[in-house]
Structure 1
Amino acid sequence: MTTQYGSRYGQEYGLRSGDGVYDGAPDRRRHLLPAGLRAPFEARSLREFGYVLLSLPVALALFTYTVTMLSLGLGLLVTFLGVPVLAATLAGCRLFGVLERSRARGLLGLEVAEPEPLRTRKPGVLAWTGALLKSGSSWRALLYALLQFPWAVFSFSVVVPFWTMGWALLTYPLWFWAFPLWVGQDGIQFYGDGHHAIHLDNPFEITATALAGLLITLATPWIVRALTTVDRVLVHGLLGPSRLSARVVELESDRGVVVDTAAADLRRIERDLHDGAQARLVNLAMGLGLAKEKLAEDPQAAARMVDEAHGEVKIALQELRDLARGIHPAVLTDRGLDAALSSVASRCTVPVRVEVDLAERPAPAIEGIAYFTVSELLQNISKHSKARSASVEVWRMDDRLLIQVVDDGVGGADPSKGSGLAGLAERLDAVDGVLVVDSPAGGPTRVTAELPWRR
């Protein structure tokens, strides 16, 4: 099982899987016919053909509305009336955009998110008008209306003749008898002038016509597929969210993850201090107070109490060191990832081979995330993997820091089940990182983390 988590700059657009619609992954199902022969009969081809047929009337209505309203609005700009007319034009294009996204989703299997909503600081018609005119997604919808119409005309003009001609010629042996009976000629006229004409009427010519129709019929779905690829690009690029807005949404989500993670870390530190070192120091202060009172009347008892307090001080110091190491280990700051990861690997319950190939150190924040990523993964190996050995490799590729942790345990790690791997993936995602988990049942488990270098 391989699972990938991480950030994606902008929005990828894909195709719905199932029912013959391509989803970006190879179709591993067995078919009796090769793809070239079954394409004319697949549901995907029929849907794409239906999309092209519907595009012409929809694009005609959208283009007519847009050009009419845009011309009216621009003509009225000399007066105040032109501004609300332009706003109404953009509003109509946005509504058509909803229809087009739904049509692309249903017939092309194209999932496109809604564009960014209008942002108005105050309620009212004027604020709504200003938001429409300043919205980039509104103007992209208008541009789609202007570009879609000529492309829809071209697609319709190519696809319909190919589709009808292919099936007509392919089925010609079934209906060629209608020509002498109803038309008064021997068959389809292949060539003719005022003196001579060639009709496709003998068995060889009828068979050749059907074969030509078969070739056209087999080629038509791929022509339709190529043409609808342009439609996909138009819908995704002009009717979906812009790359900038998608990036803003992603950063807002990452900021929330960072804030939640920081708050959780603060609560953990407060709990560790309160339940650990703080409680021991309170007991230590009480013990030293009692020892001070007994010092005059029972020196031996006071000495025993001081000795016990000395032991409590050592334990409290060790807990504070462990807590400081959990916040940011000193060895990481002083000596870098190689020494820090070797230190954390030495505390793992299984033998760990560490290999760090870095000519220079990354940004301190990235270095800290890399350290805690490996620490979390090695803790998982100690607790859950039942492994006999593990390895940690760290290297740089271009402007990315790559980490790979491998163990020979039982496998079956699944971040989707709410394990610590899911939280680790969120932390990496907050800095544009990626976490890939490959953990088939029976092992081995291979976890790869990718972080920006940011030096």
Structure 2
Amino acid sequence: MTTTYAEAAVTPAPRARILRQIGIDTQYVLVGFPIGILTISLLSALFWTGVGTVIIWVGLPILLATMYVARGFAVLERARIGPVFGRRLQHPFYKKPKDDTFFRRVFTPLSDGQSWLDLVHGLFRFIPSTISFAFVVTWWAGALGGLTWGLWGWSVPNGPDDQDLPELLGFDGSYGTKVAFYLAVGVFFAGTLFWVLRGAALLEAYFARGLLCGVNELREQVAQAEAGRELAQQQKAAAVSAEATALRKLERDIHDGPQQRLVRLAMDLGRAEQQFATDPEAARATVAEALSQTRETLDELRALSRGIAPPILVDRGLQAALTALAGRCTVPVDLDAPSIERLAPAVESTAYFVVAEALTNVAKHSQATEVQVSVQRIATGLMVTVFDDGVGGASLAKGHGLAGLDDRVRAAGGVLAVDSPVGGGTRLTAALPI
């Protein structure tokens, strides 16, 4: 992961940013050229001396010293290329010895791939460095020299056979023509200065980044991909678990409620059928009782349907659905749910079920006298908080009532936290991405 450099609270104007970047790119290339000469001179001498004397074992410590010198130059270069890209590059992974023996610790760099990449960069960095240096010096000289030629050009002595560039290109030799020509040249170099400097700096910086940070960045990308795959698998498992828990709860609720009433209804209607011939009054009473059972069954089915897909949530949104939930709760609810734009159905559904399950648990187990429900839209998503002043002791552990809710939240990519000390009430917080 990369870290952006700290900047001013107010974003600088485009002109200020361009001037700042010109300064960064210029100093990077101009300073990099002598560093490149020093690096190749020192590393070449050490490396080829070590290779030439390795047969008599003297070359091994020389090669080892070469690796450490190359690593030092690499650390310096990573610090230098950070401002060019506008972010600090992380230190790469270097191979560590598997044990603490002297030879392992001393000679591990010779078997480390990143150490060899540092050496390759040190030996060949002069190529992009020289190219970039030539462009930067040429463009700065053209811009400054052309724009200021009129101030000092008259002092340049010319012999009788000497000709200036304007004369060679067919312009007349008057001083005014020369000033105009060099001014135009200066304007051209100044107008293209930013882009040329930027390209020259990036040429050298990308070469360094590829060798000094490329393997580490590739390793981080692989790690992030693995983490994303693992997170996706966890969300899938959580979704399956939440679905299974919801189905078991629905099956239990249907079995304990509507199914029992329907069985009784069938028995009552059968009894009424037998009573019509012998006792019509008793039959009418039985039918009336069956009608009452039918209404109660319909009420229970409506309640169960609200738990599956509440129509008010689909039609009117999260705020209206939570208001209806708070009105049905047997414990007084202080609801703070400002009106927000419609979110993804999965996010709204998850937020609704978090509050619904929390209020159900409060009514059944908490012995609370008040519940506070808060739903806030934050920069990263939706924050849902439910706090009661009950007996506490709630947990997300398997076997507790909130375990299935935790699976539902994780399936939506969110995080559920419970703070419930015994006797201190319960605070349930769900953070959902949007």
Q: Say if 2:23 is the partner of 1:49.
A: no
Which of 73, 85, 103 pairs up with 1:126? 103
Is the Cα–Cα contact under 8 Å of residues 377 and 383 in structure 2 kept in the other structure? Answer: no
- Which residue does the alignment assign to 1:136? 113
Q: Is the 8 A contact 1:166 1:217 kept in 2?
A: yes
What residue is the counterpart of 2:364 in the other structure? none
Q: Is the 8 A contact 1:391 1:405 kept in 2?
A: no
Match of 2:245 in 1: 329
Change over 3 Å in CA distance of 1:388–1:29 after alignment to 2: closer
Q: Which residue of 1 aligns with 2:164?
A: 189
| 1:407-444 deviation per Cα after TM superposition (whole angstroms, max 9, x unaligned) | 9x986324499989xxxxxx9xx99x988xxxxxxxxx
Aligned mates of 2:314, 2:79 — CA distance in 1: 53
Structure 2 vs 1, CA of residues 239 and 386 (structure 1 numbering), >3 Å: closer, same or farther?
Answer: same
Question: SS of the residue aligned with 1:211?
Answer: helix
* Structure ID, larger Rg: 2
User: Of 55, 59, 72, which residue of structure 2 is paired with 1:82?
Assistant: 59
Letter in 1 for 2:138: P
Instruction: Check if 1:62 corresponds to 2:36.
Output: no
Give the structure 1 partner of residue 138 of structure 2.
161
C-alpha contact (below 8 Å) 1:200/1:206 kept by paired residues: no
In structure 2, relative to structure 1, the CA distance for the partners of 1:328 and 1:64 (3 Å cut) is farther
Match of 1:246 in 2: 220
**CA shift for structure 1 position 147:** 2.7
State whether structure 2 residue 199 is matched by structure 1 residue 226: yes
Does the 8 A contact of 1:110 with 1:232 survive in 2?
A: no
1:84-139 CA distances to partner (integer Å, 9 max, x unpaired)?
A: 32222121111111111112235653421001133112224411234212222111
What's the TM-score once normalised by structure 2's chain length?
Answer: 0.54
Paired position in structure 1 for 2:388: none
Give ranges in structure 1 of 5+ residues lacking alignment: 1-10, 20-26, 266-323, 335-341, 354-377, 395-402, 421-426, 436-444, 449-455
Residue 187 of structure 1 deviates from its aligned partner by 10
Q: Kindly indicate whether the alpha-carbon contact (under 8 Å) linking 1:166 and 1:216 is maintained by their aligned counterparts in 2.
A: yes
Query: Corresponding residue for 2:377?
Result: 412
Counterparts in 2 of 1:288-437, with a 5 A limit?
Answer: 328-329=244-245, 331=247, 346=308, 351-352=313-314, 385-387=337-339, 392=344, 412-415=377-380
For 1:54 and 1:419, locate their aligned partners in 2 and report how far apart those are by CA, in whole Å.
54
Distance 1:46 1:391, change over 3 A: closer
Per the normalisation by structure 1, the TM-score is 0.52
Q: Does 1:237 align with 2:153?
A: no
Cα 1:146–1:388 shift into 2, 3 Å? closer
- Work out the CA distance in 2 between the residues paired with 1:151 and 1:245: 26
Give the structure with the higher percent helix. Answer: 2
Tell me, which stretches of 5 or more residues in structure 2 are unaligned?
251-303, 316-320, 326-334, 352-373, 386-406, 415-430
Is residue 94–residue 138 contact of structure 1 (8 Å, CA) maintained in 2? Answer: yes
Mapped partners of 1:49, 1:246: distance in 2: 31
Name the amino acid aligned to 1:127: R
Mapped contact 2:84–2:201 kept (Cα < 8 A): no
Moved more, 122-131 or 197-206: 197-206
- The structure-2 alpha-carbon separation of the partners of 1:128 and 1:446, relative to structure 1 and needing over 3 Å to count, comes to closer
Letter in 2 for 1:101: R
Tell me if structure 2 keeps the 8 A contact 1:352–1:392: no
Question: Number of matched residues?
Answer: 303
- 2:96 is the alignment partner of 1:96: no
Q: Aligned-pair RMSD on alpha carbons?
A: 5.3
1:231 deviation in Å?
2.5
Q: Does 1:146 align with 2:120?
A: no
